[in-house]
Amino acid sequence: MLTGRSKFKQLRQFVALAALAAALAGCAAGPAKVPAEAPRAVRTGVQPLDRLQVAIVPPERDLQALLMAGDFALAANDLKAASDAYVKAAAISDDPKVASRAVELALAVHDQAGTESAVNRWAALGASPADLASARARVALDTGNTAEAQRQLDLLVSSGAPDAWREFGRIVVTARDAAQAGVLLERIATPQRLPNDATAWLAMSELGENLGRHDYAKRIGDAALARFHDGTTYAWAGQQAFRAGDKAGAKKLFAKAVAKDPKNARLRLAYATLMIQDGDTRGAASLLSVGTQNADTYAMRMSLAARAGDKPALARLYQEIRRRPDAVQTENAFVLGQLAELLGHDEDALDWYAAVGDDDPRIFDASVRSAVVLHQQGKDDDAQEIVAGLQTSYADHPDRLRQAYALEGELNMDGRQFDAAATAYDKALRVKPDDTDMLYGRGLAYAEAGRIDQAVTDFRRVLELKPGDIEASNALGYTLADNGRDLGEAQALIEAARTARPDDPSVADSWGWLKFRQGQLDQAEVTLRGAWAKRKDADIGVHLAEVLWSRGRHDEARKLLNEVRRIDPNNASLEKTERKLNP
C-alpha cells in the first residue's frame, strides 16, 4: 500500500514528466514565434531533470525482488534464505500460490513462526480446508503436538478432498517421530473411515509395515482382501505372507492375484520375483512368457535365459520382440541390443544400442555396451571416443562420470594399457574419493604396471575402509607373495580369503603361488592343479607351468603353456614366464 507521501511524490513526478513531454512535443512541432517583447529566459543553476524524483520501494515491500531472491536461494540450495524471502513475499502478495510455496518452504526448514504467518496469509487468500488442515497437521507434528496433529488430520480426511487420504499418507510417512506417526495412523486410518478404494487400504497397510506396525498392517491387509477380492489385494497379501516366512502361502496368493488380473504385467513380475527367490527360475520364465509384455517382462525373461545359459530361449525372445511393431522394437532397443550381444551378433547389437533414444533412461548403459562391443572388435579408437563423449556429457552427474572413468579404466586394463588404466581410476577417485571399487581397480592397474608400492597402498586402503574385504585381501596377499614381500602377512590375508571362499579358484591360485614362493612345491602343485581343473584361467595355468618347470618337468610345463596360449595368447603372465623359462 502506498503512503500519502509516496502518492504525492508520484504525482509530482507525473506532473514534471507531463510538462517535459509537452515541451518536447512543442519542439518537435517546429520553432515557435517569440513575441518581440517577451523577456529573455534566465538560466538557473537547477534544471527540470535535476529535480526529477524517483520513488524507491523498500526492499521488504518489493514483491518481485523478494520472489527473485527466493528463487535464487533455491537454485543455490539455501532453503533457509528461500523460506525467509517467500514468507515475506506471501505477506504482501495476493497470489495464493506464493503463500502455498511459503508454507512448504517454512515447513521444510522447521520455521514455526514463518509457517504460521504463511498459513494465516494462505487462509486469508482462500486456501481450501484440506490444504490448511494438511499444513497445520505438519506444524503440529513438527512441534510434537500429537493431539493437535490428530485434530487436523481428522479434518483433512473428513474434508472430502479427492486426494485427502493420499495427503494423509504423505504427512504420516514424512513425520520425524515414527512412533508418533504410527499412533496417528492406527487412530485415524481405521476400517470404518477408509474410503471404498482398494488403493487407499493397501497404502495404509504398507505404511503400517514401514512404521513397524505389523499387526495393524496385517489387519488392514486382510480386511482389504475380504472387501475387494482383486488382484492387487491378493498380491499384497502374498507379500505379507512372504515377509512372515510363509512362502507356500505367498505363492498361492500370488497365483490368485495373477488369475484375477492376468493382463497385469506388474503382478506377474512380482510373482515371478517371488518364484525366483524360491529357486523356481523355470516357473518364473514360464509365467512371464505368457500374457501382456512390456520392457520389464522382456528384460527379466532375458536375464533368466542368460543366467541359465539358454541360447535357444534368448534367440526365441529376440525374434519375438523383432516381430512386434516398430514402436515396440524402439521402446525395447536396449533389450534387443543385449540379446543380440548375447547371441554374438555384434553389429546388430551396435545398431540396436544406437537406436536407444536420448530420453531413454538406459541411454548411458547403451553407450557403455557400445564401447565394450567396439573394444572387443578391436576398434579401440571408436570405443574410447564413446567413453570420452560420456565423460563430457555427464560431467555434471558425479555417479555417471565415475562410471565413465571406470569404463575407461576397464578397457585400458583389458588392452594392457596399465598406466592409462591407473590414470582413469585416479580420475574416478577425484570424483568420489575413497571409492573402494576404484581403489581396488587402481591397485590392480598399479600391480600390473609394476608399481608395487602404490598397489599395496591402494589395497591396504580398501581394507581400512572395508575390513575383511575378500577381493582386497586376496589381491594384497597375492601381490605381496608375487613380489616376495611380507610373506607372513601374505599368508594371513590369503588364508582369510580361503576361509571365506574355499572353492574359489582365484583364491586357490593365490595360495598355490604363495606356497611356490615359500618353496613348498608339493603343496603348490596340488593346489594349482585343483584350481586349474575348476577353471581354465590363463594365470592359473602359467603358475602351474612354472611350478612344473621348477620341478624339472619341462615337457609337461611347455605343453601346459601351449594350452594357455590357445586360451589367452596375449596374456601378460604368459609372456613374462616364457621369457624367464626360455631366456
Reported as a single tens digit per residue, the pLDDT across 438-467 is: 999 999 999 999 999 999 999 999 999 999
Cell of 246: 510363509
R_g of the chain computed on alpha carbons: 37
pLDDT at residue 58, rounded to an integer: 56
Give the span between the Cα atoms of 561 and 557, in whole angstroms. 6
94's CB contacts (< 8 A; 6+ apart) are: 125
Give the span between the Cα atoms of 173 and 190, in whole angstroms. 17
Give the span between the Cα atoms of 69 and 568, in whole angstroms. 63
3-state secondary structure of 99: helix
Give the span between the Cα atoms of 188 and 151, in whole angstroms. 10
Sign of the alpha-carbon dihedral angle for 352, 353, 354, 355? positive
pLDDT along the chain (583 residues), means of 10: 38 38 39 43 45 49 86 92 94 94 93 93 94 94 92 95 94 90 95 94 95 95 94 94 90 93 91 90 93 93 94 96 96 96 97 95 96 96 97 96 97 95 97 96 96 97 96 97 94 95 95 95 96 94 94 93 90 81 69
Sign of the alpha-carbon dihedral angle for 322, 323, 328, 330? positive
- Asked whether the whole model's pTM tops 0.75, one would answer no
Q: Is 522 exposed, middle or buried (0-12, 13-18, 19+ CB in 10 A)?
A: exposed
pLDDT at residue 573, rounded to an integer: 83
Give the span between the Cα atoms of 375 and 369, in whole angstroms. 10
Write the DSSP symbol of residue 44. Answer: -
For residues 344 and 315, the answer to whether their CB atoms sit within 8 Å is no
- Residue for grid cell 497365483: 255
Q: Which pairs count as long-range contacts for 474-480, CB under 8 Å and 24+ apart, including other chains?
A: 474/506, 474/507, 474/510, 475/440, 475/443, 475/444, 475/447, 476/443, 477/510, 477/514, 478/509, 478/510, 478/513, 478/514, 479/443, 479/447, 479/452, 479/455, 480/456
pLDDT at residue 314, rounded to an integer: 96
Angle, CA 144 vertex, CA 138 and CA 147 arms, to 5° = 80
Domains parsed from the chain with CATH numbers = 498-581 (1.25.40.10)
3-state secondary structure of 181: helix
pLDDT at residue 59, rounded to an integer: 57
- Residue for grid cell 519542439: 27
